[in-house]
């Protein structure tokens, strides 16, 4: 199979991004008409990207994506460009505990995706996670040492809606046509994936919830292509991969996949996933603040004063530049300069110098406004809550507008999920050892 060439023309990239947001058969057709899969050669109605492999040869961790993604010259992982979060509820007729047939049907459908697409940014990466509500359907609770609480407000004034459906499928690829085709094959009309016939009907197990479908994108230059969306100002740096204008996800400020993996019990090899759907106040961010203020509020005052970041983060290498001293100086920065950085605040929750969260967030213009689907993986939801509390920490003596990015980020919705190991990903029981 050929390697995939990304479209060069920005308006074409933007068109592809918009088609992912729309979803469905006609969006997939339009994507293929644009030659969106590789070089567009061959059957104009078919996706053609590198093919997959024997599912038995794949890692047990659903979240083991880093090995399958490209890295830059500093070892930072580059996330896939297109993302879809498909919200799912159990279909009518699926019993709890689910029958062996229901599990086999879902597993067969997921295995077809793995055989069809290379497990990489050029093919498809996916995870399937389950909510506390799904596990509540079982008589037996989750194992004692596994806590999967419903998301709480976490800080005063925050009262987001909660993901109450059963599961979420996260689809990610550099190819717009691939995320659309995989979704359509599982839950729509498509009968093949990358030329491979789908053998099982996933709609016998899950109903997709159209109103809860979420989409997004990451990539150098993509945010600046959205200045036609209300609330996206023209002043976004041309190269920035994220809406707030800076690179993110430096290797040393991310947890490793080992650090976020559940180590014992029947779900060993799994992880927990937290998704916050947030809106961003970008006009105030770019038009009322200058670059010095933005760097102070996202990183730290010293990052701004010593010009450590560059225009959009290009001056940073494998780390966001938060040394132990810069993290320890958070309270002093608040007192002396009246400003603290978001990353500086959040880094106070590192454990033995190691960040506990693996952030895999992406930009969105769902609902025609700018936002971030903040998706993080961590061993326990308590790790997330601890970092989120450090990010909020109202004890510091700073005006809200200078308190990291709190003034610019609004959480609309939150969901907590368990991502089981691959062997338990198809309708897991709450306590696999107990059932
Ligand atoms: C929604 C808007 C958000 C934006 C635009 C944003 C942006 C950033 C940026 C630019 C960095 C510095 C670069 C890096 O280290 O990768 C950073 C670091 C970080 N952010 Fe956020 N972030 C957001 C939300 C959150 C949330 C909700 C959390 C969860 C509590 C969070 C946790 C962190 C952590 C843990 C770090 C790294 C700290 C360390 O180095 O140990 N961020 N963020």
Task: Compute the distance from residue 342 Cα to the ligand 1 centre, in Å.
Answer: 7
Ligand 1 atom with the shortest distance to the CA of 252: 40
Q: Is the pLDDT of residue 6 over 50?
A: no
- Which of the listed residues 359, 383, 390 should we mutate to test ligand 1's pocket, taking the one with most ligand atoms within 8 A of CB? 359
Q: Is beta strand 192-193 parallel, antiparallel or unpaired with respect to 196-197?
A: antiparallel
Ligand 1 atom with the shortest distance to the CA of 388: 30
Q: Does residue 270 lie within any of the structural domains?
A: no
Q: Does residue 312 lie within any of the structural domains?
A: no
Task: Compute the distance from residue 27 Cα to the ligand 1 centre, in Å.
Answer: 32
Among 35-39, 220-224, 343-347, 397-401, the least confident range: 35-39
Task: Compute the distance from residue 299 Cα to the ligand 1 centre, in Å.
Answer: 9
Q: Is the pLDDT of residue 10 over 80?
A: no
Q: Is the beta carbon of 343 within 6 A of some atom in ligand 1?
A: yes
Q: Does residue 113 lie within any of the structural domains?
A: yes
Taking only the tens place, the pLDDT of each residue in 63-94 is 999 999 999 999 999 999 999 999 999 999 99
Q: Which of 67-71, 158-162, 226-230, 391-395 has the highest mean pLDDT?
A: 67-71
Q: Is the beta carbon of 356 within 6 A of some atom in ligand 1?
A: no
Task: Compute the distance from residue 51 Cα to the ligand 1 centre, in Å.
Answer: 34
Q: Is the beta carbon of 198 within 6 A of some atom in ligand 1?
A: no
Taking only the tens place, the pLDDT of each residue in 205-250 is 999 999 999 999 999 888 999 888 999 999 999 999 999 999 999 9
Confidence band of 157 (pLDDT split at 50, 70, 90): low
Average pLDDT over residues 305-319: 96
Ligand 1 atom with the shortest distance to the CA of 243: 5
List beta partners, residue 217.
82, 363
Q: Going by CA atoms, what residue is nearest to atom 29 of ligand 1?
A: 388
Count of domains observed in the chain: 1
Average pLDDT over residues 117-140: 98
Torsion (CA) 65, 264, 94, 115 in degrees, nearest 10: 30
Q: Is the pLDDT of residue 39 over 70?
A: no
Q: Does residue 420 lie within any of the structural domains?
A: no
Structural domain of 228? 10-144+157-250
Q: Does residue 189 lie within any of the structural domains?
A: yes
Q: Is the beta carbon of 374 within 6 A of some atom in ligand 1?
A: yes
Q: Does residue 96 lie within any of the structural domains?
A: yes
Q: What is the pLDDT of residue 44?
A: 64
Q: Does residue 368 lie within any of the structural domains?
A: no
Q: Is the pLDDT of residue 435 over 60?
A: no
Q: Is the beta carbon of 357 within 6 A of some atom in ligand 1?
A: yes
Q: Is the beta carbon of 362 within 6 A of some atom in ligand 1?
A: no
Q: Does residue 229 lie within any of the structural domains?
A: yes
Q: Is the pLDDT of residue 41 over 60?
A: no
């Amino acid at each position: 199979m050929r390697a995939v060439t990304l479209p060069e023309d920005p308006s074409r990239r933007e068109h592809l991004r918009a088609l992912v947001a729309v979803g469905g058969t006609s969006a997939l057709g339009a994507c293929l008409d644009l030659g969106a899969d590789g070089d567009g050669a061959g059957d104009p109605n078919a996706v053609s990207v590198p093919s997959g492999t024997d599912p038995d040869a794949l890692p047990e961790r659903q979240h083991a994506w880093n090995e399958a993604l490209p890295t830059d010259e500093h070892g930072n992982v580059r996330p896939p460009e297109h993302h879809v979060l498909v919200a799912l509820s159990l279909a009518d007729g699926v019993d709890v505990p689910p029958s062996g047939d229901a599990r086999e049907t879902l597993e067969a459908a997921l295995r077809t995706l793995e055989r069809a697409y290379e497990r990489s940014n050029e093919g498809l990466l996916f995870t399937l996670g389950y909510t506390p509500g799904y596990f509540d359907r079982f008589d037996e609770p989750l194992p004692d040492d596994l806590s999967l609480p419903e998301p709480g407000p976490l800080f005063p004034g925050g009262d987001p809606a909660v993901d109450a459906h059963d599961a979420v499928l996260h689809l990610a690829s550099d190819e717009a046509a691939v995320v659309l085709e995989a979704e359509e094959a599982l839950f729509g009309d498509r009968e093949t994936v990358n030329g491979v016939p789908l053998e099982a009907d996933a709609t016998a197990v899950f109903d997709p919830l159209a109103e809860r479908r979420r989409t997004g994108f990451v990539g150098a230059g993509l945010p600046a292509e959205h200045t036609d969306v209300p609330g996206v100002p023209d002043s976004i740096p041309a190269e920035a991969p994220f809406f707030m204008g800076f690179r993110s996800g430096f290797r040393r400020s991310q947890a490793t996949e080992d650090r976020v993996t559940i180590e014992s019990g029947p779900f060993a090899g799994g992880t927990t996933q937290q998704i916050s759907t947030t809106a961003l106040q970008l006009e105030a961010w770019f038009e009322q603040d200058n670059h010095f203020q933005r760097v102070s509020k996202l990183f730290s005052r010293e990052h701004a004063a010593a010009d450590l970041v560059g225009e959009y983060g290009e001056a940073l290498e494998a780390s966001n530049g938060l040394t132990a001293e810069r993290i320890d100086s958070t309270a002093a920065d608040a007192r002396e300069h009246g400003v603290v950085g978001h990353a500086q605040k959040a880094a106070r929750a590192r454990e033995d110098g190691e960040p506990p969260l693996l952030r895999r967030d992406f930009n969105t213009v769902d609902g025609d406004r700018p936002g971030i689907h903040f998706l993080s993986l961590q061993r326990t939801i308590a790790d997330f809550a601890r970092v989120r509390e450090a990010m909020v920490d109202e004890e510091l003596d700073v005006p809200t507008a200078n308190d990291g990015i709190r003034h610019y980020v609004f959480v609309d919705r939150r969901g907590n999920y368990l991502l089981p190991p691959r062997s338990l990903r198809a309708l897991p029981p709450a306590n696999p050892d107990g059932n």
